[in-house]
């Protein structure tokens, strides 16, 4: 078949209007599980402190009838501290870019601010879960807060050559030889947490090891009903001898780490008025600038309640 002679087609036309959808598609992940589960606190200084304590070990306790009471030894609390970390994103848009007719958004600045805020939240999640030591900073060096791995020392399981940090935020843990993630490692850490008074409720891993965790059996054999048309290849909760763990994958933590966390023993402390605050920056020409900023730190209320499995393979 051929097109009839002198037919005007779209290939010949001039002036066809642009067909541009008014929807912008973005599948970039924005979930920040740790930020969501951690409590909130307030930091009123760049060095935020809290106290931890513990009871004396339980012992056989026999007292002679009528004996004079003997005072028991007292122990002081332990102060812990972390530096506030400033994270920001800046959106800058020209006057013309704000004036033109755009698809998918009414104002380019509003759209860019929304994107930068989502990006900032992802950065904060990454900072809080990083194997990073705290840094005091100075006039030319940014302050840095110590991330979760720098605090966990009591209930840990790690590979050969690996080593725990000091546990006060002053140094990072030493990475060791990577090895496969196993259910026995989870059981070991859960037992340690329980023996030290913790009741973890979350197992947080990267994507690869979340799939490995789906193969844990808990010593049981799974059964599928013949009439069930859904293949159940995963589960959301792991029930151990020492409580349940909600299985949460996290895109922004190190893939080699698996955290066993008691969620109410972790807080994010924000400086007053500096939690995701948006500020107009000085105009220096035909552009508008807005800064989205957070000043915050990680508060490890008592690391003995949580644990981690380190040095895991990631592929």
How does pLDDT run across 135-193, given as a tens digit for each residue? 999 999 999 999 999 999 999 999 999 999 999 999 999 999 999 999 999 999 999 99
C-beta of residue 202 within 8 angstroms of C-beta of residue 248: yes
Q: pLDDT tens for residues 44-58? A: 999 999 999 999 999
Spans of the chain below 50 pLDDT: none
Phi first, then psi, for residue 264 (nearest 5°) are -80, 0
CA–CA gap between residue 198 and residue 52 (Å, rounded): 14
C-beta of residue 179 within 8 angstroms of C-beta of residue 159: yes
CA–CA gap between residue 94 and residue 107 (Å, rounded): 11
What is the predicted pLDDT for the residue at 52?
A: 96
What is the predicted pLDDT for the residue at 78?
A: 96
CATH ID of 33-49+79-220+232-309, from 3.40.50, 2.60.40, 3.40.720, 3.90.1690: 3.90.1690
pTM recorded for the entire structure: 0.91
What is the predicted pLDDT for the residue at 1?
A: 80
Q: pLDDT tens for residues 248-261? A: 999 999 999 999 99
Q: Which residues of 26-57 are buried (b: 16+ CB within 10 A; e: fewer)?
A: eeeeeebbbbebbeebebeeeebebeeeeeee
Exposed (0-12), middle (13-18) or buried (19+): which is 181, by Cβ within 10 Å?
buried
CA 269 to chain centre: 14
C-beta of residue 311 within 8 angstroms of C-beta of residue 179: yes
What is the predicted pLDDT for the residue at 229?
A: 60
C-beta of residue 157 within 8 angstroms of C-beta of residue 291: no
Q: Kindly calculate the radius of gyration of the chain based on its CA atoms and give it in whole angstroms.
A: 27
What is the predicted pLDDT for the residue at 26?
A: 87
What is the predicted pLDDT for the residue at 227?
A: 67
Q: Locate the domains of the chain by residue range.
A: 33-49+79-220+232-309
CA–CA gap between residue 51 and residue 76 (Å, rounded): 10
What is the predicted pLDDT for the residue at 3?
A: 87
């Amino acid at each position: 078949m051929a097109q009839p002679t002198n037919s005007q087609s779209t290939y010949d036309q001039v002036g066809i209007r642009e067909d541009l959808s008014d929807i912008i598609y973005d599948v970039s992940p924005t979930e920040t599980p740790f930020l969501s589960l951690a409590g909130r606190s307030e930091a009123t200084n760049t060095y935020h402190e809290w106290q931890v304590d513990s009871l004396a070990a339980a012992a056989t306790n026999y007292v002679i009838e009528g004996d004079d009471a003997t005072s028991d030894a007292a122990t002081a609390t332990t102060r812990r501290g972390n530096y506030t970390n400033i994270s920001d994103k800046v959106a800058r848009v020209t006057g013309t870019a704000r004036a033109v007719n755009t698809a998918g958004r009414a104002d380019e600045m509003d759209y860019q601010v929304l994107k930068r805020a989502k990006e900032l939240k992802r950065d904060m999640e990454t900072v809080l879960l990083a194997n990073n030591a705290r840094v005091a900073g100075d006039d030319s060096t940014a302050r840095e807060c110590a991330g979760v791995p720098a605090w966990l020392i009591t209930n840990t399981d790690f590979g050969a050559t690996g080593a725990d940090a000091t546990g006060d935020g002053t140094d990072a843990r030493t990475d060791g030889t990577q090895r496969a993630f196993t259910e026995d490692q989870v059981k070991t850490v859960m037992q340690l947490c329980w023996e030290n008074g913790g009741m973890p409720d979350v197992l947080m891993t990267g994507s690869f090891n979340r799939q490995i965790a789906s193969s844990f059996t808990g010593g049981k054999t799974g059964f599928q009903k013949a009439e069930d048309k859904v293949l159940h290849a995963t589960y959301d909760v792991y029930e151990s001898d020492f409580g349940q763990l909600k299985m949460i994958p996290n895109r922004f933590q190190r893939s080699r780490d698996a955290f066993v966390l008691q969620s109410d023993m972790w807080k994010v402390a924000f400086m007053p008025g500096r939690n995701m605050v948006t500020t107009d920056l000085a105009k220096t020409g035909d552009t508008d600038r807005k800064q989205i900023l957070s000043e915050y730190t990680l508060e490890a209320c008592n690391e003995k309640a949580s644990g981690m499995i380190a040095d895991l393979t990631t592929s």
